[in-house]
Structure 1
Amino acid sequence: MATNLDVDLRCPICQEVYQDPVLLRCGHNFCRGCMQRHVGSAEKTPMCPCCRSRFKMDSVYPNRQLANVIAGLRDLSAGPSMHPSNRHCAKHKKELELFCQDDKQPICYICALAHNHRNHNCVPIDEAYKECKGVLNRSITMLQKEVTDRLAMHASQGGKISRLLDMTENLRNDIAKQFEAMHNFLDERERAIIKELAEEENHVLIQLEENMLTISGDCNMIQAIIQDIDEVINSEDCHQLLREYVSLKKRSEAIYNAVLNTPVFKLGVFYSPLQYGTWKQMKDIIKIVPAALSFDPRTANPKLRVSNFGQRLQYCEVQSQRPDTPERFTNHLSVFASTALSSGRYYWEVNVSEGADWILGVAAGSVNKKVCAVTSPDNGYWTIGHRSGGQYWACGHEKVAIHPDINVEMIGVYLDYEKGQLSFYDAEDMSHIHTFKHHFLAKLYPYFSISPNVERANPSLMLLY
């Protein structure tokens, strides 16, 4: 019965379960799509593929009853075509002996001949199994490598997180210590000034109080003299007035101007620019203050003039006659500072307001001063620069644009040699501009370069400290 049902539910043309079945007058059923293709290929009036009876398309009716039966069997998961085994075709109940490489699925020989897989590349199931197994094994190997790589990346990110947390914790502690030192200094300075003010107040107050006592005593004495004179004047005894006249006259004439203390309150000590004075004194506790650098004329390009005791660098079109020594720049309009930096922390400031095009930073002492090279780390330079038109850039391994908030007039440069940090700031408000990170090994020198443009023919730089 199951075999007859399997045959009855299959289209005579495609040999598959009916799809949208239609019924001819002769009683045979076909898939609608199969019938439409059959009619389209017929040159004359079409004939039934089973009984060769002629028919017209208007006599083809949908077989809804058969369609419902097939749908019901699918819903109930009943029938041989609905329960294929793992090794047998769900449609033809034949063993799955082939593998369609185009559709990537096992099929039987009937499937291979049907229109769904006709002309597809089909290979024996054993051959396909070995090939697919090899592919999946290679996929496992690849995926295991991906997992290994991901785990390594995960561990790397975890390490970065740990290092970040350690770094920020150390920075927090360092910031707290630096501000604690300043807070302690300010607290001590405030207490000292308040104490000095109290001592000055007490010193002046004592003198003023002594003056008050002196004035009170003088008043009492004068009041007594006035009373004695008044008694004599009001007395009718003329002999008494004459007897005491000389004495009273001397007493009244003995009153001189009061001699008072003249305390001077040191107003200028307290009513003064206390903040500025305190800031000046704070330099004793601040470890990093502007270094007293100077331009080294021995390294200056012949078109650069050093003046103001080594604090001013100016471009001059007329080249001066200077010996071409090994330490002198000849192809760069550049100069070193006279101080070598090989350890510790340094900070210096440069006024660039009168500079046209400039480059600042540090350079290794071993750089070639006789060639015109890019001022990049690859050549021993770590620099930022400015060009006309408001263009700022940092020259790392690649030149990148930087964007200060405003047109900078003073640049602050900070170097921590051991930590490998070189940072640039707007010295007006210490806003950060750019930072280089590098493991420094060579002896470094503060580096400066300046050149003219159409806006300024004789630009200059000034070192500040």
Structure 2
Amino acid sequence: MATNLDIDLRCPICQEVYQDPVLLRCGHSFCRGCLRRHMDSVEETATCPCCRDGFAEDSLYPNWQLSNVIAGLRDLGAGPSMEPGYPHCAKHKRELELFCQDDKQLICYICALAHNHRNHNCVPIDDAYMECKDMLKHSITMLQKDITDRMAMHKSQGEKISHLLDSVEQLREEIADQFEALRNFLNEKQCTIIQRIDDEESRVLKQLEENILQISRDCDAMEGVIHDIGEIIHSEDKYQLLREYSSLKLRSESIYDPVLNKPVFNMDELHGPLQYGAWKQMKDIIRLVPAALRFNPRTAHPKLCVSNLGRMLQYCEAQSQQVDTAERFTNHLSVFASTALSSGRHYWEVNVSEGADWILGVAAGSVNKKVCAVTSPDNGYWTIGHRSGGQYWANDSERVAIYPDINVEMIGVYLDYEKGQLSFYDAEDMSHIHTFNHHFTDKLYPYFSISPNAECVNPSLQLLHCGL
């Protein structure tokens, strides 16, 4: 019976289940679309494809009974069987002829009318196949672009490693040179510093290598997705492609941009005057002379007095009768040193009054001494400062709080002009306070500023000179 039902419910022309069946006067039924295509293919009077009985175009009658039978059988889950080998609906035992774009799954016509898919966008599998195939091809393109981007990241990380290794090697050589004259006394100190460098190197290398490993893992994952998508596309198996489309699409979109470590290899304090720092701990063994600087009285604000052969700077409430020249500060309680610095390495120390407000560093010779400006790099100043209450800060592009271990009374200032480094130290033990890095082009002058407060009404600065 099932075999006869299959035959009776199939159009003699397309051999598929009737779609909108029509009845001829001879008693044969056909799909309306199939019969119209048959009529369009003949130039003379159309005849029945089964019995050759002629008929006119206006003699086509809808076969409502046959339509109702087919609809009823579909509702019952019965009806014509499917061609062998074709995927079928597990619930309705019907051929999977549609693809639900909302749920991303193959369905039959009865599923499309059921509650789960009733208002969904369901399209023929051929249309869905081409659309999904194109989208997966686009996924391959995007993944290949991601691989290209990650390979560029991979190369960049490798270059950073090379630069890091070069910098570490150069620093090792500099340290070895500086400590050569002190090797008998400073072997333990040198080993300690080298260990710090090695630890920093290991830390940064580990983070960079983790970046490379993360990038490689991403690339492997993307290549796996590309391989799987490529295999299913090249197989031309539309059903398999549509079954696995959701999972492949999800895999292709679930690979996010890697979150890379951003290690900073910072050893500015070790680029400073290491021999001098060691001397501070070995004063009985070696003595090092800071730069012999003097305050320049021609640049001093009228309320600042220079004495002791240019080594002492003190705030005086009563203004001195000084000629107002272009080189004199009038809006800052400031002064330059007498020596301009345009090359080489230099180090000097300044003794500051306890509790005083002060600013120290360097300034370009071209700064405007008549305008009260923030002593920041944007205005030609590279400085740190102290305010009453124990506040220390550095004037970078923005003011940055700094935290020395204790209240500092002796400031060491180190300038490497060619390298573009200006570092500040607690001169008592040479502990690092802050470092500026900048490409210097102008002549620089050591810069000093003091001002009174409730804690220190007569502040002073003193340049330290050590005899040989």
Q: TM-score range by the shorter chain?
A: 0.5 to 0.7
The SS at the match of 2:116 is coil
- Corresponding residue number in structure 2 for 1:279: 286
**2:353/2:459 contact within 8 Å kept:** no
Give the secondary structure class of the aligned counterpart of 2:158.
helix
Q: In the TM superposition, what is the alpha-carbon distance from 1:408 to its structure 2 partner?
A: 0.8
Task: Give the SS at the match of 1:436.
Answer: strand
Rg larger for: 1
Question: Structure 1 residue 403 and structure 2 residue 403: aligned?
Answer: yes
Are the aligned partners of 1:392 and 1:402 in contact in 2 as well (CA < 8 Å)?
A: yes
Once structures 1 and 2 are overlaid, which stretch shifts more, 322-331 or 132-141?
Answer: 132-141
Amino acid at match of 1:279: I
2:171 is aligned with what amino acid? L
Q: Relative to 1, partners in 2 of residues 1:98 and 1:354: Cα closer, same or farther, differing over 3 Å? A: same
Query: Does structure 1 conserve the Cα–Cα contact (< 8 Å) formed by 2:360 and 2:383?
Result: yes
1:139 is displaced (CA, Å) by: 4.3
Residue 309 of structure 1 aligns to a residue in which SS?
A: coil
**CA shift at 1:323, angstroms?**
2.8
Check conservation: 1:340, 1:445, Cα contact below 8 A.
yes
Deviation for aligned residue 1:183: 3.4
Q: Distance in 1 between matches of 2:108 and 2:343?
A: 81
Query: Is 1:349 paired with 2:353?
Result: no
- Number of the residue aligned with 2:371: 371
Q: Deviations over 1:150-208 (max 9, x none)?
A: 32232222222222222222222222222221237999xxxxxxxxxxxxxxxxxxxxx
The one-letter amino acid of 2:413's match is V
> C-alpha offsets along residues 268-298 of structure 1, whole Å, 9 cap, x if unaligned?
xxxxxxx867524xx4xxxxx4101111122
Displacement after TM superposition at 1:102 (Å): 2.9
Q: Deviations over 1:414-436 (max 9, x none)?
A: 11111111111110011111111
Structure 1 CA distance for aligned equivalents of residues 376 and 357 of structure 2:
17
State the match for 1:290 in structure 2. Answer: 290
Residue aligning to 2:118: 118
Measured at CA, do residues 148 and 320 of structure 1 come closer, stay the same or move farther in structure 2, by a change above 3 Å? Answer: farther
Q: Distance in 1 between matches of 2:447 and 2:126?
A: 75
Change over 3 Å in CA distance of 1:115–1:154 after alignment to 2: same
Pairwise mapping of residues 242-257 of structure 1 onto structure 2 (< 5 A)?
none
1: CA distance, partners of 2:90 / 2:318: 97
Q: How does 1:273-352 map to 2 (within 5 A)?
A: 278-280=285-287, 283=288, 289-352=289-352
Counting aligned pairs with the same residue, the percent is 79
State the TM-score, normalized to the length of structure 1: 0.56
Shift of 1:391: 1.3
Residue aligning to 1:103: 103
Which one-letter code corresponds to 2:300 in the other structure?
A
Q: 2:312, 2:461 within 8 Å by CA — same for their partners in 1?
A: yes
Query: Any stretches of 5+ residues in structure 1 without a counterpart?
Result: 4-49, 51-79, 188-274, 284-288
Verify the 8 A CA contact 1:355 1:461 in the aligned structure 2: no
Q: Please state how far the C-alpha of 1:125 moved relative to its aligned partner.
A: 4.8
Aligned equivalent of 1:229: none
The 1-side partners of 2:162 and 2:86 are apart by 53
Contact 2:296–2:335 (Cα < 8 Å) also in 1: yes
Q: Which AA in structure 1 matches 2:286?
A: W
Distance (whole Å) between structure 1 residues aligned to residue 447 and residue 85 of structure 2: 82
Counterpart of 1:237 in structure 2 is none
TM-superposed deviation, 1:383: 1.3
1:438-449 to structure 2, matched below 5 A, reads 438-449=438-449
Structure 1 residue 407, shift from structure 2 partner: 0.9
Residue identity opposite 2:155 in structure 1: A
Partner SS state of residue 330, structure 1: coil
Query: Structure 1: which amino acid aligns with 2:301?
Result: N
Paired residues of 1:354 and 1:460 also in contact (CA < 8 A): no
Please name the residue that 1:386 is paired with: 386
Contact 2:404–2:433 (Cα < 8 Å) also in 1: yes
Deviations 1:43-88 (A, max 9, x none): xxxxxxx9xxxxxxxxxxxxxxxxxxxxxxxxxxxxx99xx98865
Aligned residues: CA RMSD:
3.2
Change (3 A) 1:277 1:142: same
Mapped contact 2:179–2:186 kept (Cα < 8 A): no
What residue number does 1:424 align with? Answer: 424
Q: Normalization by structure 2: what TM-score?
A: 0.56
Cα separation, 2, equivalents of 1:376 and 1:134: 58
Are the structure 2 counterparts of residues 186 and 380 from structure 1 closer, same or farther at C-alpha, using a change threshold of 3 Å? closer
